Amino acid sequence: MRNRNRGELAKLEMTPMIDVVFQLLIFFIVTLKAQDVLAYLNVSRPAPPEDPPPQELTLLTIQIGADGWVLNGKPYSGTDGFASMERQLARLASFHRDANILIKCTDEAPHAFLVRTLNACAREGMTKVSLFSL
């Protein structure tokens, strides 16, 4: 038998193959139409209610001044002003616990009035409180 000239074994380069695979992958991703896939999904949803329940947006306004409080237009002042306002707030909270409360505080109002008002709201579990400085 003849001795053949055995040269180097041929190398298979992987880098060009990987490049071609990535280019094909990118091509198919770009040409895929997602709307076609979504168009054939079978989704059953419940029908919307005929009459949606009315969403009542309740806004309670408390204005704090140097002489006392004004709850929804009704003034509370004097020695029993805060206790009366707090009772009224508790009564309103029993009906509308998720009511939005807007507290308007003047710069003449004592800081203690604001703190007592915020504590009363917290005691009643009313958490949607906004503070506005006048």
Give residue-wise pLDDT tens across range 84-97.
888 888 888 887 77
Q: Indicate which CATH number applies to the domain containing 83.
A: 3.30.420.270
C-alpha closest to that of 132 among 109, 124, 120: 109
Give residue-wise pLDDT tens across range 3-59.
666 667 778 888 999 999 999 999 988 887 666 666 777 778 888 777 766 666 578
Asked if residue 48 belongs to a domain, the reply is: no
Asked if residue 13 belongs to a domain, the reply is: no
Asked if residue 109 belongs to a domain, the reply is: yes
Asked if residue 52 belongs to a domain, the reply is: no
Asked if residue 88 belongs to a domain, the reply is: yes
Residue range of the domain that includes 96: 59-133
Q: How far apart are CA 16 and CA 128, in angstroms?
A: 63
Instruction: Spell 75-111 as b/e; 16+ CB within 10 A means b.
Output: ebeeeeebebbbebbeebbeeeeebebebbbeeebee
What are the DSSP E strand ranges found in 45-110? 59-65, 68-71, 74-77, 100-105
Q: How far apart are CA 29 and CA 70, in angstroms?
A: 64
Asked if residue 20 belongs to a domain, the reply is: no
Asked if residue 12 belongs to a domain, the reply is: no
Asked if residue 46 belongs to a domain, the reply is: no
**Total-model pTM:** 0.54
Total domain count for the chain?
1
